[in-house]
Amino acid sequence: MDMQLTVKIIHMISITLLIGVIIARAFTLFIGVQGNQPNPVARKFFVALQHLVMTCIVLTGVVSLVIKNFEVQSWFYAKVVLFLVLFSSLIKAYKKDDQILLIQRRAGLAIAIVALIAILALVMMKPNFG
């Protein structure tokens, strides 16, 4: 099998897992919250899985860039910026800090979901910004 295709399949599987993890962790902000903190049940598992999936997405993305000799379309840069928005808003939503209100955590989750949907839309449409 072609190396690029293998990396692309692993990348897509990781993204599918990320969607599942985001949905599963979203429930922790609505069910069983304790004060301003998300539900602590299975927290370590969700954090580990989210870290593993995000690392896999970044690594397969970088490997794919190397295979393509860093030749990318113009929409790729928007995708990277949206990924950083997704990443930072998930950090805000699940940070262990009692000063962050539950409504702020939910807003961070909403921003992450919007960024994820925008990334998926960019990948499916592949617009030409140039």
Q: pLDDT value at position 11?
A: 97
| Predicted local distance difference test score (pLDDT) of residue 59 | 97
Cα–Cα–Cα angle for 84, 90, 94, rounded to 5 degrees: 150
pTM of the model: 0.90
Mind listing the pLDDT tens digit for each residue in 35-79? 888 988 888 899 999 999 999 999 999 999 999 999 999 899 999
Each residue's pLDDT tens digit, 92-102: 999 988 899 99
Contact 122, 82 (CB under 8 A): yes
| Predicted pLDDT of residue 94 | 93
Given CA atoms 44, 35, 97, 105 in this order, what sign does their dihedral have?
positive
Determine the average pLDDT of the residues in 73-88. 94
List Cβ neighbours of 58 (8 Å cut-off, separation of 6 or more): none
Q: What was the pLDDT predicted at 130?
A: 66
Q: How many CB atoms lie within 10 A of CB 80?
A: 13
Q: Model confidence at 128, in pLDDT bands (50, 70, 90)?
A: confident
pLDDT at 110 over 80: yes
> Angle 80-48-58 (CA atoms, 0-180°, nearest 5)?
20
